[in-house]
Structure 1
Amino acid sequence: MIRFGIRMSLAGGREAATRLAVIAAAVALGVGMLLASVAGMNAVGAQNQRYAWLNSAIAPQSAEHDPMWWTVREDYFHARSIGRVEVAALGPDAPVPPGLPRVPAAGEYYASPALVDLLGSTPPAELGDRFPGRQVGVIADEGLPSPDSLLIVIGRTPAEVEQLGGRQITQMMAAESAGCDGCFIGLNGDAMTLVLSVVAAALLFPVLIFIGTATRLATTRREQRFAAMRLIGATPRQISVIAAVESTLAAAVGTLAGFGVFLGMRPVLAAIPFTGEPFFAADLSLDPVDVLVVAFGIPLGAVVAALLALRRVRISPLGVSRRVTPRPPGAWRLIPLVGGLVELAWFIGRRPDGTNAQLTAYLSGFVLILIGLVLAGPWLTMAGARVLAGRASRPAALIAGRRLSDDPRAGFRAVSGLIVALFVTSVATGTITTFVANRGAPRTDSVAATSLSKTFWQEDGAGPALSQIPAGLAAIPGVRSVTLVHVNPDPEGWQGVVTCAELARLARFGTCPPGAQTAAVSSDLLGRRDLTKDEHVWAASTATPAVAEAQPILSVVVDTTSRSAFEQARTMLELAFPAGRFPASVAEWEANNARQLVQFQQLANVIMLASLPVAGCSLAVSIAGGLSDRRRPFSMLRLTGVQLNTLRGVVALESVVPLAAASVVAIGMGLLASHLFLRAQLGYELLAPGPSFYFMVGAGLAVSLGIIASTLPLLRRITGPEVARNE
């Protein structure tokens, strides 16, 4: 029977060959997406592994190598982060950072390719003058988290690194930074694991739905064919073997082609910044377990789907012709959806204590809503179809509405994967947009972005003398002001103090209260106020102007009118004060703190952009299968005078209604769940997502509708009068 099944699949005429090709192509696309999502998760882990050596200061030390002085700090250029590693080997057997042939000597440095390009295209006064010595090589890929990483390893003398606050190490850290305590460079392991789990589910669910839909292509036609074979004597076991062979053959061909699709997509996928930075193409890899699970799991799943689809044939060959309208889905399916919303709403004003309790409370609510959406989907589809049929003014709308209301489960099945993707994306977008807005992300033209400060914290030693402040700062073209903030002698106020005359001269850093002579201020003259506004009234200080100006210098604040002046001032301050934290703007610190939120948002966008076309492909395959199954009814309708455009309208509405309903409900529930979470956890009101969110949703739906529209020309070919005569 196996050979007979192969013969029927390969030599069963044009219809069998077309079915085999369509199923194989659909499975290939689904497998390609599946492998891409798995490889993407592996790439995130590989990228995080590449951060490990930058955390060597906390690595366990041993006596196997000579010690080396080591320090890692973060510099900035045009708001981009630069990893700056400064080393000094204390012997010939000192550990060598990955990607370097040797430890650079004093006066030498190795830079990443992206930083080398940046140095070559930027005036030295803005960037290159910060790095002492000469370039002796380029950091190889094994030492870089990403092709776009800005990283430099500078050789210094042991005394210099010690003065910069370094420590001695004897080996490079090799463990993944996500799995260590105290790592300060890399991705947050727990948070990334949770997010990647959600990403995997959100991507895999629509892909698996797509593959399942493809393997069920032309189910009705196959049932009729197998029922006829049963009537002439074939046993249920023989029918099962033939069906399994057909499905396995198509799925195996599609799976093999899917690996080719993945390999072709890999260079494009590597350039997508899932985590904020692109990947190396080699990081998008598959381990042997991934390959085996996909290579054998997809054909096995196709066999299971085929056998389940033929359950009526195995029971009785006459069961195929004894079709009745299935029972409509009940309203009880809404219970989990409502329960999840009620759970999130209940925690408003009752926020759980502790991270674990909060994760349990909120995550269970989100999962319950998601399950409820998938479970309630057929009922919502039926309700929408009945509204469509009740308000129909044209035959196409009436036929489509009645057909969807008769079998809403089939109508919803193809778009069920879309529910997961849009819900996850809407929750992420709503939450991140509101969080960033309420934390006061500064405008790019605000004082928080145009001014930078160098603070001399107590742990870095006493502040500099006035004579140590670079005299050339104020002479840089584009520098608006240079302000010295002194240590506030009153420990109850802000840590800094300036005179009210100075604040009045600056005009961009706030004002004094009426009658005050000095004001207590933050070291950067901004503090924890609304950074989108320049107006601010500081509290008065008890110090007189003379006492205030006699205090040690706490910080230097430079305000600029251009990016060139900003970077030149930063370079000058770094050369004058190489120890401690490098000067930066509040906008850069805020962007750095929000980096992981941006990464999560990018992952959410990837889910949506990938899932919408997959949902469209699922619908297209479902449409193609439905057209094949309904060739005779449609051809009879055409013989009775029904226009071809009317039939096209029926097919389009049967596809568009579930797609639109699923999108609206998923986005609405996602934003509502986000609102309830924000109210319960942070006390924020949900802010509407930006235009980019709606643009991506619209673009994804447009692609899906375009895929659906590509199937409509089949109607003319399969509904001619010869079909009614030959069936």
Structure 2
Amino acid sequence: MIRLGARLTMTGGREAIARLALIAIAVAIGAGLLLTTIASLNAVHTQNDRYAWLETGFVAQAAQSESTTDPLWWELQPDYYQGQLIGRVDLAATGPDSPIPPGIKALPEAGEFYASPALAELLAATPADQLGDRYPGKQIGTIGATGLPSPDSLIIIIGHSAADLSQSGHARQVSSISTTTPAECDGGCAALVGIDSNGITLILSVVAVTLLFPVLIFIGGATRLSAARREQRFAAMRLIGATPRQISVISTVESCIAAAAGVLLGLGLFYAFRPMLASIPFTGTTFYTSDLSLTVTDIALTVIGIPAAAAIASRIALRRVNISPLGVTRRATPRPPRAWRVIPLIIGIAALGYFAYFTDIGASKDTGAQVAAYLSSILVIMAGLVIAGPWVTMVGARLMARRAQRPANLIAGRRLADNPQAGFRAISGLVIALFVGSLIIGVISTIVSNNAAGAADKIGSTASAGTLVYRFSSADPDALATSVPPALLDDLAGIPGATGVSVLRRVASAQPGPGTSVVSCAQLAGTPAFGRCPAGAETVKIDTNYGGAVVEQGSTMADTVWPDAGLSVSQLQSLPISTIAVGTDGTSAAVERARTILTLEFRENTAFPPQTLEEFKARASKMLNDYQQLANVVLLMSLPIAGCSLAVSVAGGLADRKRPFSLLRLTGTPLALLRRIVALEAVVPLLLSALIAASAGFLTAFLFLRAQMGQTLQPPGTSYYLLVGVGVVISLAVIASTLPLLKRMTGPETARND
């Protein structure tokens, strides 16, 4: 029977070959998306592993391998250039057996350095006073891929003598290079340098699961192409003596051949597009192409799993034939879905409404209880959307049929109302994806909108991007310095584009680190991003807020008029310095020259590099941007997948109904009318489900924001509507591409031959 099934599949005429090709293409697209998601997760872990050596000195020595007898002096510091993070490693060998970081062949001597290829290009293209002067010595080579998380990584390894580097307050001796990744260092990670892949893996896993539903529905719909025609053929075989087992074997062989061909094609598509996929910065930076790899297990599960799923779907589709060979002709309208299907959706929304209006769960310190409450409610809403989908489709179809003024609307509405489960099945995955995407974007848009960002201090504004801040750490040995070298102030003030320098001094009663400081009003006028003085004040108290939280609810410094400190300028000179702020016109040259001067002057005094206010905030906003970017990916990919699923359903429906359509054409029904009927049957569930899913997502976002943060939902940006609009247009175009089949499949010869 296996040979017979293969023969029927491969030599069944043009219809069989066309069905085989359509199934294979559909499975290839689905398999390609699944393989891409799996490879992306693998790439995140691989990239994170190459950050491990940068954790040297920050993790427990026991977690470091390859211990040597000659320790290595090691100091890791972050640096910035135009908002790009640079990892700076200063090291010095104490003997010939000192450990060597990955990516270089030998340790650099004093006055030598290795740079990553991207940083080497940047150094060559940038004036030395804006970047190169920060790094002493000459370049003797580049860091290899084994020591770089990404082709775009900006990393430099600078050699020193052991006598010099041992005098640094931040250098430490290490006996081995770390193999502990940032995801494993349990809070003891290097500040600013490296990523924690756990959070990114969680995000990608959510995306994978969200995309999995529409992809699996797409594959399942493809394997059911021409289901009615196949049922008739297999019923005829039953009538001449074939057993249910034999029919099942033939059906399984047919489905497995098409699915296997599709999986192989999907593998080819994945490897063909892998270089382009590697350039997508899922983690904020690009990947090496080789990072997007698949294990033997990944490939085996895909190659075996998808054909197996296709075989199961085929067996389920033929259950009527197995019951009775006459069951195919005894068709009846399925029972219509009942209104009770909306109850789970109502329960989920009501639960979130209870948390939003009748509890103070957002003020609770019990994070576990919050996660359980919100997650359970959202999962119930997601399940409710899928359960209520057929009933909503039926109601919409009946309404369309009741108000129909054209034959196409009436026929399409009646057909959808008779079998709304089939109409909704193809786009049920879209409902989940669009719901999740709208929920995430609604929450992120509101947080960004409500974050304290005055007109003069928004991310990207001149004041925020042009104000450079250098903070003294409480651990610095010279943190109690009370004076700044006059030459330094002259150098900073002499930079073209500089508007002023403010020296903030720590109030004696203030806690170490950012907090209450005092500054003279004459200096504050040159750095307006730090606020203003009241009339007549000589000095003011400032509660410094550099941002950096995911949710910012305080007012910005730029909008604040600070209270009089009651001190004279001369009295300030005895207070310790906490911060030096340099105001510029926001040009890259001015900012980077000021950064270079401050770095060279104070490199030994703090572990925090000079940063602009924009850079302080950008690290926190990056998390929001990553969430929003991945939500956009979900939206942009889910809508076309839903369109493809509908297109497959349309093509299968045309194949199943080509005889009645042919008879309608013979009786004088215009071809345009038939096309309108088919289009309406596909478009109505798509648009109706997209509208309901998006509305449910925004309603859920509204209730969550009110319950957790006491904020009001803000409308999403234009990009959301553009993404949804583009996705819908692509979906409609895919559906429209199937309509020309109607003319071929409904000619007079079809009515004669069938």
TM-score (norm 2): 0.92
Contact in 1 for aligned 2:502/2:526 (Cα 8 Å):
no
3-state DSSP of counterpart to 1:135: strand
Partner residue in 2 for 1:573: 598
Partner residue in 1 for 2:467: 451
2:375 pairs, out of 342, 355, 363, with 363
Task: Report the Cα distance in structure 1 between the residues aligned to 2:469 and 2:429, rounded to whole angstroms.
Answer: 49
Is 1:637 equivalent to 2:664 in the alignment?
A: yes
Question: Cα deviations across residues 637-673 of structure 1 (Å, max 9, x unaligned)?
Answer: 1122221111111111111111111211121111211
3-state DSSP of counterpart to 1:174: coil
Q: Which amino acid aligns with 2:26?
A: A
Q: Which amino acid aligns with 1:465?
A: S
C-alpha spacing 1:529/1:645, structure 2 compared with 1 (3 Å): closer
Task: Report the Cα distance in structure 1 between the residues aligned to 2:404 and 2:229, rounded to whole angstroms.
Answer: 30
Is 1:120 equivalent to 2:124 in the alignment?
A: yes
Partner residue in 2 for 1:482: 501
3-state DSSP of counterpart to 2:559: coil
Per-residue deviation, 1:345: 2.1
Is 1:511 equivalent to 2:532 in the alignment?
A: yes
Partner residue in 2 for 1:235: 243
How does 1:50-61 map onto structure 2 within 5 Å?
50-61=50-61
Is 1:155 equivalent to 2:176 in the alignment?
A: no
RMSD: 2.1
Once the two structures are overlaid, the 10-residue window that deviates more, 241-250 or 389-398, is: 389-398
Is 1:257 equivalent to 2:262 in the alignment?
A: no
Partner residue in 2 for 1:594: 621
C-alpha spacing 1:719/1:281, structure 2 compared with 1 (3 Å): same
Identity %: 51
Per-residue deviation, 1:465: 2.7
Question: Cα deviations across residues 97-142 of structure 1 (Å, max 9, x unaligned)?
Answer: 1212122222111111111121122111111111111111111111
Partner residue in 2 for 1:168: 173
Contact in 2 for aligned 1:106/1:155 (Cα 8 Å):
yes
Once the two structures are overlaid, the 10-residue window that deviates more, 712-721 or 544-553, is: 544-553
Once the two structures are overlaid, the 10-residue window that deviates more, 156-165 or 323-332, is: 156-165
C-alpha spacing 1:522/1:323, structure 2 compared with 1 (3 Å): same
1:78 pairs, out of 70, 75, 82, with 82
3-state DSSP of counterpart to 1:496: strand
C-alpha spacing 1:435/1:296, structure 2 compared with 1 (3 Å): same
Is 1:402 equivalent to 2:426 in the alignment?
A: no
Partner residue in 1 for 2:401: 389
Partner residue in 1 for 2:326: 318
1:720 pairs, out of 747, 750, 753, with 747
Task: Report the Cα distance in structure 1 between the residues aligned to 2:500 and 2:160, rounded to whole angstroms.
Answer: 34
2:98 pairs, out of 91, 94, 108, with 94
C-alpha spacing 1:104/1:238, structure 2 compared with 1 (3 Å): same
Task: Report the Cα distance in structure 1 between the residues aligned to 2:521 and 2:509, rounded to whole angstroms.
Answer: 16
Task: Report the Cα distance in structure 2 between the residues aligned to 1:372 and 1:634, rounded to whole angstroms.
Answer: 36
C-alpha spacing 1:377/1:529, structure 2 compared with 1 (3 Å): closer
Contact in 2 for aligned 1:126/1:568 (Cα 8 Å):
yes
Partner residue in 2 for 1:287: 295
Contact in 1 for aligned 2:41/2:201 (Cα 8 Å):
no
Q: Which amino acid aligns with 2:172?
A: R
Is 1:207 equivalent to 2:223 in the alignment?
A: no
Task: Report the Cα distance in structure 1 between the residues aligned to 2:525 and 2:98, rounded to whole angstroms.
Answer: 55
2:567 pairs, out of 520, 543, 546, with 543
Per-residue deviation, 1:532: 6.6
C-alpha spacing 1:280/1:367, structure 2 compared with 1 (3 Å): same
Is 1:687 equivalent to 2:714 in the alignment?
A: yes
Per-residue deviation, 1:294: 0.7
Contact in 1 for aligned 2:546/2:616 (Cα 8 Å):
no
Once the two structures are overlaid, the 10-residue window that deviates more, 184-193 or 419-428, is: 184-193
Contact in 2 for aligned 1:488/1:548 (Cα 8 Å):
no
Contact in 2 for aligned 1:77/1:567 (Cα 8 Å):
yes
- How many residue pairs get aligned? The number is 727
Q: Which amino acid aligns with 2:184?
A: G
Partner residue in 1 for 2:309: 301
2:282 pairs, out of 259, 274, 281, with 274
Per-residue deviation, 1:564: 1.1
Q: Which amino acid aligns with 2:459?
A: R
Is 1:467 equivalent to 2:485 in the alignment?
A: yes
Task: Report the Cα distance in structure 2 between the residues aligned to 1:507 and 1:242, rounded to whole angstroms.
Answer: 78
3-state DSSP of counterpart to 1:347: helix
Is 1:192 equivalent to 2:196 in the alignment?
A: no
Per-residue deviation, 1:609: 2.0
Question: Cα deviations across residues 548-583 of structure 1 (Å, max 9, x unaligned)?
Answer: 234233322111112211111111111111121211
Task: Report the Cα distance in structure 1 between the residues aligned to 2:20 and 2:437, rounded to whole angstroms.
Answer: 35
Q: Which amino acid aligns with 1:568?
A: R
Contact in 1 for aligned 2:183/2:195 (Cα 8 Å):
yes
3-state DSSP of counterpart to 1:520: strand
Per-residue deviation, 1:147: 1.3
Partner residue in 1 for 2:435: 423
Per-residue deviation, 1:505: 6.2
Contact in 2 for aligned 1:617/1:704 (Cα 8 Å):
yes
Contact in 1 for aligned 2:482/2:575 (Cα 8 Å):
no
Partner residue in 2 for 1:37: 37
Task: Report the Cα distance in structure 2 between the residues aligned to 1:638 and 1:327, rounded to whole angstroms.
Answer: 30
Contact in 1 for aligned 2:463/2:528 (Cα 8 Å):
no
Question: Cα deviations across residues 233-284 of structure 1 (Å, max 9, x unaligned)?
Answer: 1111111111111111111111111111111121111111112111111111
Task: Report the Cα distance in structure 2 between the residues aligned to 1:626 and 1:507, rounded to whole angstroms.
Answer: 67
Per-residue deviation, 1:420: 2.0
1:218 pairs, out of 213, 223, 226, with 226
Unaligned runs of 5+ in 1: none
Per-residue deviation, 1:175: 3.0
3-state DSSP of counterpart to 1:274: coil
C-alpha spacing 1:59/1:548, structure 2 compared with 1 (3 Å): closer
Is 1:350 equivalent to 2:361 in the alignment?
A: yes
Question: Cα deviations across residues 684-725 of structure 1 (Å, max 9, x unaligned)?
Answer: 212211111211111122111111111111111111122122
TM-score (norm 1): 0.96
Per-residue deviation, 1:535: 2.9
Contact in 1 for aligned 2:112/2:138 (Cα 8 Å):
yes
Q: Which amino acid aligns with 2:186?
A: D
Q: Which amino acid aligns with 1:75?
A: D
C-alpha spacing 1:430/1:187, structure 2 compared with 1 (3 Å): farther
Partner residue in 1 for 2:183: 178
Is 1:707 equivalent to 2:740 in the alignment?
A: no
Task: Report the Cα distance in structure 2 between the residues aligned to 1:152 and 1:666, rounded to whole angstroms.
Answer: 48
Task: Report the Cα distance in structure 2 between the residues aligned to 1:332 and 1:464, rounded to whole angstroms.
Answer: 74
Question: Cα deviations across residues 370-426 of structure 1 (Å, max 9, x unaligned)?
Answer: 111122111121122122212222111111111111111111111111112212211
Per-residue deviation, 1:60: 3.2
C-alpha spacing 1:121/1:363, structure 2 compared with 1 (3 Å): same
Per-residue deviation, 1:525: 8.9
Task: Report the Cα distance in structure 1 between the residues aligned to 2:309 and 2:751, rounded to whole angstroms.
Answer: 35
Contact in 2 for aligned 1:98/1:142 (Cα 8 Å):
yes
C-alpha spacing 1:643/1:525, structure 2 compared with 1 (3 Å): closer
